[in-house]
Structure 1
């Protein structure tokens, strides 16, 4: 048993496939959407509202997929990772942007543990989890599978 781990922190062996968590919600503003895109993804349909309406496929501003992923990550950190003994991320796969995210959308996240692979010889576990964000209309906007390494309570 590791004496340095508080009992309220979840380690690899504390999680099981099928565990589900609600991650909370986040509303994205126009200013925030445009500011992020100006710095990280300055395509016209993210930064130029007038041109996004006239020339864009979606008829208005949409968030960068990278920003949508960042919102999911923030919800994970705020609701779960602060309670998990995380070592670090292991990867993202099956990342899908299902619908555009627009200014004013409220995104709500969920995650489900898919697999737990204990690695006691290394003092860690690999956790695979599926996640999603839905908008205020209950439409999926983001779906992904992610993996992270957590410390084990026992080694």
Structure 2
């Protein structure tokens, strides 16, 4: 069933399955998009980094969050893209072997036109120890049901 703007209510929540983070993926993402040594060089990171090992780029953490959001909610919704993201924070490092999951909550919604509305989704990504690693508010456009 497709979820439209009209089907959503403030405080509706969704949770996700898990996303397994690998060292290979961390290094591959970093090599292409954020090639800082603490994302790409596990030996140096283990010796010199305050994290005592390789960590994922915050941008990679955000991308994994988006994957979980699409797989567990947005793929069943009449979304029309996003207007942006507010309050993006990387709360703690994501490490190889972490298992990420998300909780998304409708924080607010507003009608934009007869055909579209905007929903503010508060998203929290946690690791396998249920510690927050990323939080943000997505500003997502949804189609409205035709009357």
* TM bin (shorter chain): over 0.9
- Whether contact under 8 Å (1:125, 1:151) holds in the other structure is yes
Which of 108, 111, 115 in structure 2 is aligned with 1:115? 108
Runs ≥4 residues deviating over 6 A: none
- Counterparts of 1:79-98 in structure 2, within 5 Å, are 79-98=72-91
- Whether contact under 8 Å (1:9, 1:83) holds in the other structure is yes
Which of 2, 17, 28 in structure 2 is aligned with 1:9? 2
SS at match of 2:120: strand
Matched residues in 2 for 1:119 and 1:99: separation? 36
Q: TM-score, normalised by structure 2?
A: 0.96
SS at match of 1:120: coil
Cα distance, 1:66 vs. partner? 0.5
Cα distance, 1:120 vs. partner? 3.3
Alignment length, in residue pairs?
A: 147
Structure 1 vs Structure 2 CA RMSD: 1.0
Instruction: Note the residue ranges of structure 1 that are not aligned, 5 or more in a row.
Output: 1-7
Cα distance, 1:138 vs. partner? 1.0
Matched residues in 1 for 2:44 and 2:38: separation? 7
Q: TM-score, normalised by structure 1?
A: 0.92
2:62 is aligned with 1:69:
yes
1:20-42 deviations in Å (ceiling 9; x for gaps): 00022101011111111101100
- Partner of residue 145, structure 1: 137
- Whether contact under 8 Å (1:120, 1:154) holds in the other structure is no
Matched residues in 2 for 1:139 and 1:10: separation? 29
SS at match of 1:24: coil
